[in-house]
Structure 1
Amino acid sequence: MSLPHLKHPQRWLLAGMLGFSAMACVPAMAGLGPVRLLVSAAQADDELGADVGRQLQQAQSALASHQAGKALEFVNAADAVANKNDYESYVINQMRAAAASQAGNVPVALKAYEALIKNSRTAPAARQQMLMAQASLAYSTRDYATAANAASRYLKEAGPSQQMQTLLLQCHYLQQDWKGTIEAGQAILTADQKAGQVPAENQLQMLATAYDQLHDSAGKVSVYVKLVKYHARPQYWQMLIHDLTADQSLTPRMVFNLQRLRLATGLLTNPAEFQDMAERAVQMNLPQLALNLLDEGYARHLLGTGTNAAAQAHFRAFVAQRAAEARTNLPTAVEKAKTSPDAGPSLTTGYNLVLNGQVDQGLALMQQGMEKHPHQPELARLTLGMAMMDGGRRAEALQLLNSMDGNGTANNLAQLWAVQLASHQVH
């Protein structure tokens, strides 16, 4: 028995999915809309037997009348027919998926979709749409494991999809599968970066939580850097600065840069920390920078008052003397730096030139130092960016710091300084 109007059962599947569309648009899939499935047409020699065809015709009529429960009864009656061929079984599963979806019978719909997905008759494009529908259905009933599996299969077959990547991330997160959350979240970040899109705040929050649960402080900090960069809120700054300050692995130069960042964000207010920051600058052979920072402390009335005022004045005098000596010795230091095979002298002396008003000469010498392959290239780039900032070359500094978007503390600090520069809040 040949039934031409049943030769394209994808229409039934579409009808069923249209009835299901409200449930398909779960929060994670907002904007997805009705799933339109394009199932391959029947082959020329495929026919439905009289008994199967009769039941499916009645199921089709029931679906058209939005009587999904009755449609499922007719589908089950068709499935009960003995000696069905492969085509009949295939069409029955299509009708069952449509009717069960419209009826909200998720377990039956999921089972029917799985059978269709595995069937060689289903075209690749249709299989991808079925996987999307399967993931959405499972998510709507909080079957996150099944939803995650379908979403993963979809992404492997179809490639990046914002909806499926978001659903997959949420499935892992809601199952407290922190490693899976990180893997899905990093895939989203990669896709966002490639597309030039701003990462969603809630997705970054989930990723930060996953790193925190796994006690991965470096990963957590890297995510908070992005939260500060793209969704700047005071609590993100505070959390980030807290975590960085507690990091015992930071080198002295990293600690100094962090102290400067805390100063720029108004979080460094302790006079003792001001003196410690200045001492670090002196130890780095940047006494003029130490003097500038101390003078800022005096301007903010954080230094020069109270019982420690005399000791603070004595320390400032010492730093001022060191700065004067360094200024006097600059010509000799420049000549030594130019002939040194090491990057350090060029970077330090160049920075001192910048701090003493010779910005062009200083930045040029630092660029020469960068070409000498510094031992810590990212830290050297960060230092060059800070020299540009201190020399008033804010646009150049912002461009350089923004380009440091890799992993690691130096890159994290660079991104934070870029945020500060862009917001015109650097002091």
Structure 2
Amino acid sequence: MKTHTRAWFAALLLGVAAGYAPAQTPAPAQESVRAEIGKSLQGAQELMKAGKFREALAKVREADAAPNPTAYERFILDRMRGSAAAGAGDEVVASRSFEAALASGRLQPAEALAILEALASSAYRTKDYAKAIEVAQRYFKEGGKSEPMRNLMTSAHYLSGDHAGVIRDMQQRVQAVEQSVPVVDETTLRMLAASYAKLGDDAGYANTLEKLLVHHPKKDYWEDRLTRLQNSAAFSDRLMLDLYRLRLATGTLDSTEQYFEMAQLALQAALPFEAKRVVDLGYAAGKFGSGAEAERHKRLRELVNRQAAEDEKALRVEVVGRTGEALVNMGQALVSAGRYDKGIELLEHGVAKGGLKRPEDARLHLAVAYFQGGSKPKAVETFKAVRGGEGVADLARLWGIHASRN
């Protein structure tokens, strides 16, 4: 399950941009913000634009101290406080404030959808799956169409044990695809694949397996295709982390050894945030923390936590190098930390600048970043543009299949 941090900050940025301008949130003529409140909110808005969210939150608290706020002033305060708290990482205050802004009934539809997406994402991150589902359902009822939100709702159903909800979500999505895309029946494709296998035609079998993934994606088909890719003579070991990422996305990262190796490869690639996420998922899935290797798992967790904390202090965009390679490396590090907008920007600049040792690898990483950041059309388009041997084009093609269905 990919993170939905980008959705949270989409609501944040929307709130900052809207401020309390009447053009963004129309109010009756008799409603206005008093000068003593407006001055503090203006200061908070400027601080948020500068990325100083904790200071902005303090400014909003100054405005909160004004006596006898009107309903309109409470609405403006709630929205601004929610934006500042979101940027400051205070999800409790942000959620409470955004919920109050929603309850006011004064939000414009697009802003309400962005805030609902943020609230669902926050509830999911804090493992309040029932609330995540409730808010996500409201989001879609009010016209939202975000694919990452559909993934979040399905994942929340699954993690809360509501498998009937998972089935309902997935059936609706399959039916929507079937109405718009011609589907080759599964029996025909399985028979075709079996015939290729009998003839020893590995290329024909792999091609048909990919058609099954397009029309009838199943874990078994993904496991078969990715195992064959990994075991092919042409596949390069340098792409193992990329293959594990696709395994994780397709639900085929199954064994303790796979989780452990993926975390180690992420550390070797100077991506401790990704390593930490993999280790956390390993513990959540019951792959780590028990048996004879429990102590080894603990040491790995301590290592990734320590390196992630160190990397948090070291990830300074202002000191990124000027070469394409430096831009790509910093961009990928930011993406792994969930900072999609800036990370994608640096990846784009690095790929465009050129001079890369492995440009197709970088293009693959850019496409994955688009997908993880919620830009599905860009992701699919970029996956199609990846070329090259040693398995990089194969991975891009398979990622493209996955992105097109999720």
> What's the TM-score once normalised by structure 2's chain length?
0.47
Higher relative contact order (CA 8 A, sep 6+): 2
> What's the TM-score once normalised by structure 1's chain length?
0.45
- Structure showing greater Rg: 1
